Amino acid sequence: MTSFDFHRRIETVKESMNRNDIDAILLLNTRNIYWLSGAAQASQLVLPRDGDPILMVKRNIELALKHSWFEESWIQPLGSTSEAISMVKSTMDGKDGTIGMELAGLPTTYFFKFKKGLGPDIEISNISKILRECRMVKDYKELERCRVAARVAEKTQGVVYEMLMENFKTGITEKDVAAEMIRVAKKNRAEHYCIYSNNMYTNFNNFFILTSGEALWTPSTFPIMSGTGFSPAIPFGVSDRELQEGDMVVCDYGLIVDGYHADHARSFVVNGKMPKHYEERYRNLKMAYDRTMDDVEEGMVANDIFETMVKELQRLRDPVHGTRVERYFQGNGEYYQALGHGIGLELDEPPFISRNNQTVLKRNMVLSIEPKIIIPGWGAINFEDDFIVKESSPPERMTNSRFIDF
């Protein structure tokens, strides 16, 4: 059975350390620790530029020894933060230098504690972006994990299609549909939460949008189409709203299977009773989406995907807004979001597919592309699929839930 390419990962990170003149790194983020060590216990990982990694485990060291590929001598118990600081300093041999840490997600109290313990002669450099970029290109086993997660995401979207488009029952609510989706996801070994390392907008880790009515164009939190939730305390996600025949519904569901995410969205109309302009807008968005993604390949620049999608939508012309439909692409005319993002150990990873991102795409990057139009007073349509970038187009589409067949 093919395993993760851990040795390549260590070498990739060390190459980045050399390029950025970093002498050692100290990691606290479990996603980065797992990616390098294979263990996700509460721990801290030290990686010197010219030495072996050391995994210091707060708990549970027995599981860390079982899960990690590290040699036993590379794994040791961690009693306190001061022990981690001492380990970092020992890798420096008493010399001045630079330590890399994940400052984007590090609590300020931790930063000051490490800064004081390391002393004035050791500089702390932010390596959050460097590590996330190292993780952009997936190995064979990671791609397999992503495919498995995508298949589970397909099954959950199939639940929505069946409940709303084929066998709609009067009186069901958003939460009724969501509950059945969660049941199917759990039966297929999916975790009902998502992981964000650097999300400054929300502490919510449950990325589940199933929304309808005015919530389709009324943003509450991030992202633009966020749903209203059950109460102002958590103004996000699924609500108690009862679904009616002819309602537009958007379902965007992120889940994890064996550590890797899928992010998948489809749009529906309750009982198949189409609102005015729905079919034409749905067809236009899907056609622009398909044409854009058919040409994606290694060597493209991320913002090319965004610009191509806009041009395709303008060419197709909206039945009401014509070429000005761009105003409602990826937003509601006031708030906007990117067209997509990388995906893997976190739900949102680089590269981000936005108008200004110049990242060059590489083979085996995994992208989640989510085109949408949001028109206040009318409604919204949203698709999202996960793709693997190939040497030549088209990319591999991993999520293949059915679209509406008009």
Q: What does the pLDDT read at residue 288?
A: 96
Q: How far apart are CA 51 and CA 73, in angstroms?
A: 13
Longest pairwise C-alpha distance within the chain: 72
Question: In Å, how far from its chain's centre is CA 91?
Answer: 34
Give the DSSP H/E element, type plus range, for residue 64.
helix 61-67
Q: Closest Cα to residue 238, out of 176, 302, 291? A: 176
Distance of CA 28 to the CA centre of its chain: 20
Tell me the mean pLDDT per 10 residues along the chain, length 406. 86 97 95 97 95 95 97 96 92 89 91 94 95 97 98 98 97 98 97 70 68 92 81 89 98 96 98 94 97 98 96 91 87 86 96 96 98 95 98 98 95
Note the pLDDT of residue 335: 79
Distance CA 239, CA 231 (A): 8
What is the model's pLDDT at position 101?
A: 96
Q: Where are the chain's structural domains?
A: 6-133, 140-397
Phi, psi of 63 (to 5 degrees): -70, -40
Q: Single out the residue of 54, 262, 260, 45 nearest to residue 140, CA to CA.
A: 260
Which secondary-structure segment (H or E) carries 75?
A: strand 75-77
CA distance 23 to 344: 28
Residue 211 tokens, joined: 């929304």
CATH number of 6-133: 3.40.350.10
User: What residues have CB less than 8 Å from 404, skipping those under 6 apart?
Assistant: 165, 267, 268, 269, 282
Q: Where are the beta strands (DSSP E) in 226-384?
A: 248-257, 260-269, 340-342, 349-353, 366-369, 372-375, 379-382
- Do β-strands 372-375 and 349-353 pair in parallel, antiparallel, or remain unpaired? unpaired
The contacts found for 46-51 with CB under 8 angstroms, 24 or more apart, are 46/84, 46/87, 46/88, 46/91, 47/10, 47/13, 47/14, 47/17, 48/23, 48/24, 48/91, 49/14, 49/17, 49/18, 49/22, 49/23, 49/24, 51/91
Whose structure tokens read 């995401």? 153
φ/ψ of 239, rounded to 5, equals: -125, -175
CATH 3.90.230.10 correct for 140-397 = yes
**Beta-carbon contacts of residue 64 (< 8 Å; ≥ 6 apart):** 37, 39, 41, 43, 55, 57, 75
Question: What is the length of the chain?
Answer: 406
Please tell me whether the overall predicted TM-score, pTM, comes out greater than 0.75 for this model.
yes
Cα(323)–Cα(311) distance, integer angstroms: 9
Query: Which pLDDT score, from 0 to 100, does residue 205 have?
Result: 65
- Distance in angstroms (rounded) separating the CA atoms of residues 351 and 359: 7
CA triple 384-386-388, angle to 5 deg: 150
